[in-house]
Amino acid sequence: RKGSVIITGASSGLGLATAKALAETGKWHVIMACRNFLKAEKAAKSVGIPKENYTIVHLDLASLESVRQFADNFRRSGRPLDVLVCNAAVYLPTAKEPSFTAEGFELSVGTNHLGHFLLSRLLLDDLKQSDNPSKRLIIVGSITGNTNTLAGNVPPKANLGDLRGLSGGLNGINNSVMIDGGDFDGAKAYKDSKVCNMLTMQEFHRRFHEETGICFASLYPGCIATTGLFREHIPLFRLLFPPFQKYITKGYVSEEEAGKRLAQVVSDPSLTKSGVYWSWNKNSASFENQLSKEASDAEKARKLWEVSEKLVGLA
Ligand code: NDP
């Protein structure tokens, strides 16, 4: 049978490019988990994904109710699950005021981390039951959350502190709009959410790899300067960012190439090591990258797991 993979946020950018790369092999059926059905359908058609190789299922990560419904719907469909890719994200670098998810969590961390945390937990059993020897759970990370890199040192830097804001409910009441309890900063909230994604992947690995055989991985696909992720940024930034990445930092990667990289983490038989944060060098060869001190802090990962469980109603 074909492999069965769920990709969140497959309606644009990296998710769409990955869906295309996998569907084209003819070996995968891609479940595109998207908040905007029509946009996803148009996107799939526009890049020419063969009709028989994808299904679009509604998922709004900014609503835990929607996440639960998605998991129920998926289970009822009777499809097996071999790989789950947590890819969707919002980035609100110019927002002056915070926005909130349906349950009242700050939107960037609520969507990018808490929505995916619940989704992964709910689908873990389905992954466990897959007879595919290389079943995987992949959470897309980023260099920007890694303060051991140049890009990760552009202020505002990621910093989860002692998680007091998250423990306080991440709802804007009593200094709890940011994970560390600081003032709202949209760019930082995104970076913090990416640190959460990388910590979560490692905590999954520690808790479940041996028992389930599932391979847990994260990755930094390169700077895909052209995606919708930067849609909220000021026009001048959007104009200058792609050439800056292409010619100055040389970290630029096309959506197509980034999609191939993530598709590799989904299906390449040589990338089965669990607990790894993958990156690619100039020649597009994959390697196991080092995470920053905070993004590999096991004690913080455990605490993040426990607080997140409470917030999404699992504990
Ligand atoms: P895009 O904005 O192109 O894609 C993000 C996707 O997430 C879209 O499909 C979007 O849906 C979806 N999404 C947003 N909010 C929700 C929600 N509430 N529920 C469901 N889906 C949602 O950005 P990228 O492709 O660049 O980003 C993909 C991943 O890559 C992210 O995890 C990002 O952090 C990571 N990344 C990106 C880098 C880059 O340089 N671009 C670098 C490193 C990592 P819709 O189409 O409806 O808006």
Ligand 1 pocket residue status of 39, Cβ below 6 Å? yes
Q: What are phi and psi of 87, to 5 degrees?
A: -120, -30
Q: Collect all residues with Cβ–Cβ distance below 8 Å to 129 and sequence separation of at least 6.
A: 80, 81
Residue nearest to atom 36 of ligand 1 (CA): 142
> Of the candidates 268, 301, 286, which has an alpha carbon nearest to the alpha carbon of residue 220?
286
- From ligand 1's centre to the CA of 111, what distance in Å? 10
Closest CA to 150 of 79, 51, 77, 250: 250
Per-position b or e across 67-105, b if 16+ CB within 10 A of its CB: beebbeebeeeeebbbbbbbbbbbbbbebeebeebebeb
228 lines ligand 1 (CB under 6 A): yes
* DSSP bridge partners of 28: 3
CA trace torsion 300, 303, 307, 312 (10° rounding): 80
Rounded to whole angstroms, the maximal C-alpha distance in the chain is: 52
Q: Which pLDDT belongs to residue 241? A: 85
Best of 229, 237, 266, 291 for a ligand 1 pocket test (most atoms within 8 Å of beta carbon): 229
Ligand 1 within 6 A of 146 CB?
A: no
Ligand 1 mean position, distance from CA 98 (Å): 18
Options 54, 91, 190, 252, the catalytic residue: 190
Which residues fall within 8 angstroms of residue 59, CB to CB, at 6 or more apart?
Answer: 8, 33, 34, 35, 66, 67, 70, 119
Q: Is the CB of 200 under 6 A from ligand 1?
A: no
* pLDDT single digits (tens) 68-88: 999 999 999 999 999 999 999
DSSP state of 291: P
Most informative mutation of 11, 64, 266 for ligand 1 (most atoms within 8 A of CB):
11
Both structure tokens of 304: 């993040």
Measured in Å, residue 77 CA sits from the centre of ligand 1 at 25
Of 61, 44, 49, 55, the closest CA to residue 8 belongs to 61
CA 199–ligand 1 middle distance (angstroms): 19
Which pLDDT does position 146 carry in this prediction?
A: 77
- pLDDT per residue as tens, the chain (315 positions): 999 999 999 999 999 999 999 999 999 999 999 999 999 999 999 999 999 999 999 999 999 999 999 999 999 999 999 999 999 999 999 999 999 999 999 999 999 999 999 999 999 999 999 999 889 999 999 987 777 777 777 889 999 999 999 999 999 999 999 999 999 999 999 999 999 999 999 999 999 999 999 999 999 999 998 888 888 888 888 888 888 888 887 788 999 999 999 999 999 999 999 999 999 998 889 999 999 999 999 999 999 999 999 999 998
To test ligand 1's pocket by mutation, which of 87, 103, 280 has the most ligand atoms within 8 angstroms of CB? 87
Q: Which residue has 């995987």 as its token pair? A: 136
106 Cβ closer than 6 Å to some ligand 1 atom:
no
Indicate whether residue 12 lines ligand 1 (CB < 6 A): yes
The pTM score is 0.97
* Cis previous bond, 235, omega within 30: no
227 touches ligand 1 (CB under 6 Å): yes
Q: Is 54 a catalytic residue?
A: no
Atom of ligand 1 nearest to the CA of 36: 47
pLDDT at 206: 98
Cα torsion 242, 86, 99, 41: sign? positive
Residue 129 Cα distances to 54, 73, 110, 267, angstroms: 21, 17, 28, 18
Kindly state if the Cβ of 168 falls inside 6 Å of ligand 1.
no
Q: What is the pLDDT of residue 258?
A: 97
Which amino acid, one-letter code, is at 299?
E
Q: What is the pLDDT of residue 169?
A: 98
